[in-house]
Chain A
Amino acid sequence: MADPMRIRAQVAGDKATVRVLMSHEMETGLRRDGAGALIPAWFIQEVSAAHNGKTVLNAQWGPSVAKNPFMQFSVRGAKAGDKITVMWKDNKGDSRTDEATVS
């Protein structure tokens, strides 16, 4: 299991700004190790976010997204105390879900 995500969700007017920092290697599959062998691709493919259990965002990522990915988005109508859940899944089938409370 990968390390937890860091999620911060803050109210800004009638919406909440959500910032997510994930912990992931995001290998492109194009780099070589010291012996010249290709390092296999290992990256997050799917990301989704939910507001109080309702999916509000789906994203698909490629290997071009930087290591330990950062993502920022705004959820309309989110209030303090609401739950924001973020889920990712990588190309090896590993996944992680974390939850944060809007403040």
Chain B
Amino acid sequence: MTPATGTRINDDLTRPLLLTSWRFYLLVAFFGAFVAAGLAAWFSQIFFGIGIAGIRWPVYWGFYVTNFVFWIGISHAGTLISAILRLVDAGWRRPVTRCAEVITVFALMIGALFPIIHLGRPWLAFWLFPYPSERLIWPNFRSPLVWDFFAINTYLTGSILFLLLPMIPDFAVVRDRSTGLRHRIYRLLALGWRGTPKQWHRLETAMQIMAIAILPVAVSVHTIVSFDFSMAPVPMWQSTIFGPYFVAGAIFSGIAALIIAMAALRRFLQLEEYLRPIHFDNLGKLLLMMALIWGYFVFNERLVTYYGNEPAEMTVFWRTQRQSFAPLHWTMIACNFLVPLVLMGIRRFRTIGGCVVASFAVIVGMWLERFLIIVPSLGAKYLPYSFGIYRPQPVEIIITAATFAAMGLLYVLFAKVIPIISIWELKAGEHTPSAAARALDEERLGKVRP
């Protein structure tokens, strides 16, 4: 298969920006309806009081904190693909980096909404920001929630910049191909980009620095989110494994989200030549590896708890594995471990379709995992007289569904205004020494599975 020429790459990747079909409007309307319902639900929660949600004594965290941890976890997709693969110069990353970075930015924005949604007095959320107030009081830097605030904001800023920087040359391409108002907007966005060697060097150096800086930030973000749990003496929360466990789970769910996004883009934007089976094959192998790592962490945590045989912890342990939460727990194990192991481990099943099925299973499984970390422990804390059962209410379910729709909506809108594959990186990748080796790989894979 001959590589696409410069002009054809430009054509294929700017076409979604310049041509709009009825499918776009349908998708926007569909997702937009759910998002509107979610906003209405949130406002009604503020108006009537947070009591319309299902949280209760003593299960004070439920769907909202589950969603928070889930979406922050999804946001680790971009970092892994972009930063790590950029640093090891893996050529196959090139069509994939922007799709992944976009997931990161939007998942972070959605995830960062939930600490506000779940507050009892969300209009005072700005007190988490360190500013000199007339009350002479600052945020409590010993609180994991304040660490969350700093970590998520740093990661969000870094991710947005990591996404924006390589877009500048692509804005220049769209600038040159459009007229009128569109031309003026993209000219503004492209800043002073012309394409001199100095500009390319500076851009690549900045990307290098950011890739190195954003990796530890990403690891720290989900570790700090795990500290929201491990800093409290709740049975089965006070586990030292939570940091690495959460980071591994985040990368796991992030890769699954990326596979789904890429498969959708490939179908809807006719990008079959750019998002090739080799990409899904590689990501599928990564998904398999993360499934094994996830299983390893879960096994570790459970075995140590079991041997510890501490009464409070064993109450939660059995509650999750044998009693009221057992159906959810075993669904989670099947979705997160068995399905990816079978579908991604057997080469026959590692097709694009197989990857998408496994990814959907992982998304469901990881959401359940967050839920099962939070709710069974809180409902069975030490004193049996104060155990409780959490029942989610419509407002929580609507808001949860709305966030998935918001992700879809933001993604669709983004793909409409900005090339979803980095044009200059794709072209640059054709000319590196590793490109020849990559072409050979794809030929080989092409023969096995067209």
A binds B: no
